[in-house]
Each structure stands twice: as C-alpha cells, then as structure tokens.
Amino acid sequence: MANWLLKSEPTVYSFDQFLADGTTYWDGVRNYQARKNLRAMKKGDTAFFYHSNEDRQVVGTAEVTREAYPDPTDDTDEWVVVDIKPLKRLVSPVSLHQFKMDSVLKHSALVRQSRLSVMPLDPAQAKRITELASA
C-alpha cells in the first residue's frame, strides 16, 4: 500500500469541509506530474492532507476509495480525479517547518518540489509523519 500527500488551500477546500462532506473527488489537477501520481493511486492507499498557504501543515489522513477516472470538471477529457474519504484528523498537525527540520522529511517532495500538488511519500516518510502527528 502506497502513501501520498495531497495539497489543498484551506480557503478553497479545507480538511474540515472534507470531514463534513464524508467523501470527495480530488479535482482541479492540471499538471502532468500530479496526474501521473493520481493515476498511480490505488484503492486503499493512504493520503496525507496538507493545507498550503495560510496553514502550511499536514492536518489529517484520507483513504483512496476509487481509482483515477475522468475529471467531471474538465471538458477536454484529459484530466483525472480520484475519490477519497477522510480517515482522521491528526492529534498534532505536522508543519512544513517540521518537515524542513527533520532528517527524513526534508528529502520529501513537499520540501523539494514546493509547487507539486499530488506527490508520493516513501514508507519512511509516511512513518515519520505519523510519529510526529501522534507526539
């Protein structure tokens, strides 16, 4: 089972809204690398939910419930979405600053490729986020 990180601006779509919705499709991806990652997501995979801009921290987890299918908000049929449902809110959110300070997480795509919105995490990185989140 793979681990992913999804970015969202809290003013556009927050984790609170996601919890209220119960499920959502992850739309609006218009970047080839992000699309490649979306297509690689499998049902049952875990995704960490990161608030960009104002918040700049990982605030919760989600599970992939449906693999990539055409983005309903896209007329060109070129882009895809996945369905996800919330798992839980983190006890302690993990900030971008913590990522940069951490010997494992500083190598993650979140730090190295700040503009990528859908990115993979390796097992060590996912484990480390979980550790920090429950501390």
Q: Are 84 and 121 in contact (CB under 8 A)?
A: no
**Terminal Cα-to-Cα distance of the chain (whole angstroms):** 24
Using rule CB under 7 A, residue 46 touches DNA: no
| Tokens 């927050």 sit on residue | 14
- Our CB check for DNA shows the closer of 89 and 106 to be 106
Site for DNA in 62-91 (CB under 7 A): none
Under the binding rule (CB under 7 A), the answer on residue 109 touching DNA is no
Selected from 100, 101, 123, 131, the binder of DNA by CB under 7 A is: 100
Question: Which residue of 56, 85, 89, 107 would you call a contact of DNA, by CB under 7 A?
Answer: 56
Using CB under 7 A as the criterion, what x/- string covers residues 1-30 for binding DNA?
Answer: ------x-x---------------------
Element (H, E) at 88: strand 80-95
| The amino acid at 37 | N
114 counts as binding DNA under rule CB under 7 A: yes
- Rg of the chain in Å (alpha carbons): 14
24 contacts 12 by C-beta, under 8 angstroms: no
43 or 78: whose CB is closer to DNA?
78
